[in-house]
Amino acid sequence: MDETSRHAIPRIARLYRFQFEPAQNAFVLLFPEGMVKLNDTAGEILRRCDDQHTAAEIVADLERAFESDEIGPDVDAFLAEATQSGWIEWRAARERT
């Protein structure tokens, strides 16, 4: 993820609903054709894609939460994959409301 992307704000794509599913004991993405069960790491990242925080802020929050300063590249890779899968959308930080 380049520096420009780090300052963009990710959010769950409109086609999906992100929630914790007790029956699955996991975070999931629900969509009209089904459900994606997320592992713990993906759930923690997507939980922070709330249309309020930049990717850099999400990485910083995860580094604090997990007491690690080496997870940035993994978060960037997951966000890129989630974007390619259509799970998240992006907007520029200057568009904050």
Domain edges within the chain: 3-85
> Is residue 1 over pLDDT 90?
no
> Is residue 3 over pLDDT 60?
no
For residue range 42-83, list pLDDT tens digits in order.
Answer: 999 999 999 999 999 999 999 999 999 999 999 999 999 999
Q: Does domain 3-85 have CATH number 3.30.379?
A: no
DSSP annotation of 95: G
For residue range 24-46, list pLDDT tens digits in order.
Answer: 999 999 999 999 999 999 999 99
Q: How far apart are CA 11 and CA 58, in angstroms?
A: 11
The rounded radius of gyration (Å) of the Cα atoms in the chain is 13
Q: Is the pTM of this model over 0.95?
A: no
| Residue 60 to residues 13, 17, 37, 76, Cα–Cα distance (Å) | 22, 24, 25, 12
